[in-house]
C-alpha cells in the first residue's frame, strides 16, 4: 500500500484521500491486486473513521468484500468495535459479507456477540437473518459467544430477534447448548433469562458426555452461586441425566395425534414418535422395573468401592504376613537346641518363638483375609460371565468375610503381644470389641435382609 494512503486511512483524512485520487484515480482499485495484510477500508473500519469509509466505498465499493490475511472483512472489524454507522454503510453495499467467516469460522455476528455490541447485532440480524444459523469452526453459534464472554444483553437481543427454536437449542462441537455453558460458568442471570423461554428451550438436553445442565453444575466445586443456579434449574423442572426415565410422555410436545417419547438414560437414542392412542403412561410396576434396570451408575460405583477396599485390605494382610506382630529376629540365636541348631534363625517371627500356639491363629486369620480380598480383586478385574447384580452381591458378601477376618487378626495379635500384667484389660477390650462387631454385623445383615424381602414383596404384588 502507498504509504500516504495508509496514513490517510489511519487518520481518516478524506482530504488526503482526495489528493491521492487526483494523482492516481486507480489507487484504490490497485489495492485489490496487491498482497496486503489489510486494505485502507479495513484500517478505517477498525478505527471508526466513518467519513473515510463512506468515501472509499463511493470510489470502490468492491473493497467491502475484501478479506485480510486472517480472513476478516471490514465488516468484521466494524462489528467487533461497535461502529454502527460504518456497519450500516458496509451492509448497504453487500449484505452477503455477514455470512463470511474468518480463519476460525467466526462471522461478524460472532464477534459482535463476543463484544456485546447490541446495536450492531440488531443491524446484522435485520440485514441477513439466516446468519444466526452459521457456526464457527468449534460448532458455536452467536449465543454460545454471548455466554462465553458474559454478554447478557447481547444474549437477550439475539434470543428476541430470532424465532427459530433450533437457534436457542443449538449445540457446539461438544454437544453443549447455551444452557450447558451458562450452567458451567454459573451465570445465574443468564440462566434465569433462558428459563423464561421454557416453551422453546430444551431444558434437559444432553451433551456429548450425556450431561444435562444440572449434571454440568455438579461437575464444579459447590458454592453459593452454584447452589442458586441448581435451584433455579430444578425449579424449572430440570433433571439429571440418570433421573430421566425411559418412555416418560413429554406432554409439552404434543402435536396433533402424535406424542414424543423422551428416551434418555446412559444410552441415548433419538426421540421416537408414536400414535397418541398407543402412548399410555407406564404402570407403577413398569416404573419400578425400569428403576432397577437403569441403576447402572450405582452398581458401577459399588464395584469401584469394592475394588479399592479389597486392594487396601490385601496390602494390609500382605504386610502382616511379611512382618508379623512383634517383628522378626535380626540374627541367629546363640543358644543351641538338642539337635545342634540355633533355637531361632534371623528373619523368623518372634511371636512364633514366644507363643507357638498363638502365632498359627494370627496367621490363619490373616491368610483368609488376604486370599479372600485377592479373590475379590481378581473377579473384579477379570469379569465373570454371570449376572452382574448376583456377582456384585457375592463379592459384597466376600468383603464381609475378609473384613471380619482382618478384625480377628487384629484382636488375636493384640492378645498375644500385650504385656502379661495387662492381660485382663486387653481381654476385656477384646471381648467388648467382639460383641460390638457382632451387633453391627447383625444389624447390617438384618437391614439388607429386610430390604431384599420388601423388594421381593413389591415385585410379586405388581
Query: What mean pLDDT do residues 244-255 have?
Result: 46
The better pLDDT of the pair 357, 170 is held by 170
Among residues of the chain, what percentage have pLDDT more than 70? 81
Query: What mean pLDDT do residues 238-266 have?
Result: 51
Tens digits of residue pLDDT in 368-420: 888 988 888 888 777 655 456 677 778 788 888 888 888 888 877 777 776 66
Most confident of the ranges 187-196, 273-282, 385-394: 187-196
pLDDT interval class at 267 (50, 70, 90): very low
Domain ranges of the chain: 3-170, 244-280, 295-417
Q: What is the pLDDT of residue 383?
A: 64
Tens digits of residue pLDDT in 24-36: 888 888 776 665 5
Cβ-in-10-Å burial (0-12, 13-18, 19+) of 398 comes to middle
Q: What is the pLDDT of residue 224?
A: 82
What sign does the dihedral 197-202-204-207 (CA atoms) show?
negative
Q: What is the pLDDT of residue 151?
A: 94
Asked if 144 contacts 132 with a C-beta cutoff of 8 angstroms, the reply is no
Q: Which CATH architecture has domain 3-170?
A: Alpha Horseshoe (1.25)
The better pLDDT of the pair 221, 6 is held by 6
Query: What mean pLDDT do residues 280-295 have?
Result: 42
Asked if 211 contacts 225 with a C-beta cutoff of 8 angstroms, the reply is no
Query: What mean pLDDT do residues 50-79 have?
Result: 92
Least confident of 167-176, 282-291, 426-435: 282-291
The better pLDDT of the pair 170, 301 is held by 170
Say if residue 182's pLDDT is above 70.
yes
Tens digits of residue pLDDT in 83-113: 999 999 999 999 999 999 999 999 999 999 9
Query: What mean pLDDT do residues 36-41 have?
Result: 81
Most confident of the ranges 144-148, 304-308, 406-410: 144-148
Q: What is the pLDDT of residue 74?
A: 95
| Look-up of cell digits 489495492 | 31
What predicted TM-score, i.e. pTM, was given to this entire model? 0.54
Asked if 167 contacts 125 with a C-beta cutoff of 8 angstroms, the reply is no
Query: What mean pLDDT do residues 350-360 have?
Result: 79
Average pLDDT of the residues of the chain = 79
The x, y and z cell numbers of residue 366, run together, are 490373616
pLDDT interval class at 358 (50, 70, 90): confident
Say if residue 277's pLDDT is above 50.
no
Q: What is the pLDDT of residue 456?
A: 74
Neighbours of 212 (CB within 10 A): 27
Q: What is the pLDDT of residue 172?
A: 92
What 427-433 contacts at long range (C-beta under 8 Å, 24+ apart), as own/partner pairs, is 433/407
| Look-up of cell digits 465373570 | 384
Residue 321: partners with Cβ closer than 8 Å, 6 or more residues away: 363, 366, 367, 370
The better pLDDT of the pair 432, 190 is held by 190
pLDDT interval class at 285 (50, 70, 90): very low
Most confident of the ranges 135-144, 232-241, 367-376: 135-144
Q: What is the pLDDT of residue 241?
A: 85
pLDDT interval class at 251 (50, 70, 90): very low
Amino acid at each position: 500500500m502507498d504509504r500516504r494512503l495508509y496514513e490517510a486511512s489511519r487518520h481518516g483524512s478524506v482530504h488526503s484521500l482526495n489528493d491521492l485520487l487526483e494523482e492516481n484515480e486507480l489507487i484504490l482499485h490497485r489495492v485489490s491486486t496487491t498482497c496486503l495484510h489489510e486494505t485502507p477500508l479495513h484500517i478505517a473500519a477498525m478505527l471508526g473513521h466513518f467519513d473515510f469509509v463512506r468515501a472509499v466505498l463511493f470510489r470502490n465499493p468492491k473493497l467491502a468484500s475484501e478479506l485480510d490475511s486472517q480472513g476478516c472483512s471490514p465488516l468484521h472489524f466494524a462489528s467487533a468495535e461497535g461502529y454502527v454507522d460504518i456497519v450500516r454503510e458496509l451492509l448497504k453495499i453487500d449484505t452477503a459479507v455477514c455470512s463470511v467467516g474468518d480463519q476460525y469460522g467466526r462471522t461478524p455476528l460472532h464477534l459482535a456477540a463476543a463484544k456485546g455490541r447490541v446495536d450492531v447485532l440488531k443491524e446484522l440480524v435485520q440485514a441477513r437473518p439466516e446468519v444466526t444459523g452459521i457456526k464457527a469452526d468449534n460448532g458455536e453459534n452467536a449465543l454460545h459467544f454471548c455466554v462465553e464472554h458474559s454478554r447478557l444483553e447481547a444474549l437477550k437481543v439475539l434470543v428476541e430477534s430470532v424465532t427459530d427454536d433450533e437457534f436457542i437449542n443449538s449445540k457446539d462441537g461438544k454437544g453443549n447448548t447455551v444452557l450447558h455453558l451458562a450452567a458451567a460458568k454459573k451465570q445465574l442471570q443468564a440462566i434465569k433469562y433462558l428459563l423464561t423461554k421454557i416453551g422453546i428451550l430444551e431444558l434437559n438436553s444432553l451433551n456429548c458426555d450425556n450431561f444435562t445442565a444440572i449434571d454440568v453444575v455438579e461437575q464444579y466445586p459447590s458454592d453459593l452461586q452454584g447452589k442458586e443456579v441448581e435451584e433455579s434449574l430444578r425449579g424449572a423442572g430440570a433433571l439429571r441425566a440418570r433421573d430421566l426415565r425411559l418412555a416418560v410422555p413429554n406432554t409439552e410436545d404434543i402435536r396433533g395425534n402424535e406424542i414424543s417419547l423422551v428416551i434418555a438414560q446412559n444410552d441415548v437414542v433419538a426421540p421416537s414418535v408414536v400414535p397418541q392412542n398407543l402412548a399410555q403412561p407406564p404402570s407403577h410396576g413398569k416404573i419400578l422395573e425400569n428403576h432397577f434396570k437403569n441403576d447402572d451408575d450405582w452398581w458401577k460405583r459399588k464395584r469401584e468401592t469394592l475394588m479399592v477396599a479389597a486392594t487396601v485390605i490385601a496390602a494390609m494382610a500382605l504386610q502382616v504376613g511379611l512382618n508379623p506382630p512383634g517383628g522378626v529376629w535380626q540374627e541367629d540365636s546363640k543358644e543351641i537346641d538338642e539337635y545342634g541348631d540355633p533355637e531361632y534363625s534371623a528373619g523368623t517371627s518372634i511371636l512364633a518363638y514366644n507363643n507357638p500356639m498363638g502365632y498359627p491363629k494370627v496367621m490363619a486369620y490373616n491368610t483368609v483375609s488376604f486370599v479372600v480380598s485377592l479373590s475379590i480383586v481378581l473377579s473384579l478385574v477379570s469379569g465373570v460371565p454371570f449376572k452382574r447384580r448376583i456377582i456384585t452381591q457375592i463379592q459384597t458378601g466376600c468383603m464381609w468375610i475378609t473384613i471380619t477376618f482382618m478384625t480377628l487378626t487384629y484382636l488375636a495379635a493384640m492378645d498375644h503381644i500385650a504385656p502379661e500384667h495387662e492381660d485382663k484389660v486387653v481381654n476385656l477390650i477384646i471381648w467388648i470389641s467382639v460383641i460390638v462387631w457382632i451387633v453391627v454385623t447383625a444389624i447390617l445383615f438384618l437391614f439388607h435382609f429386610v430390604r431384599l424381602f420388601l423388594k421381593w414383596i413389591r415385585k410379586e404384588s405388581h
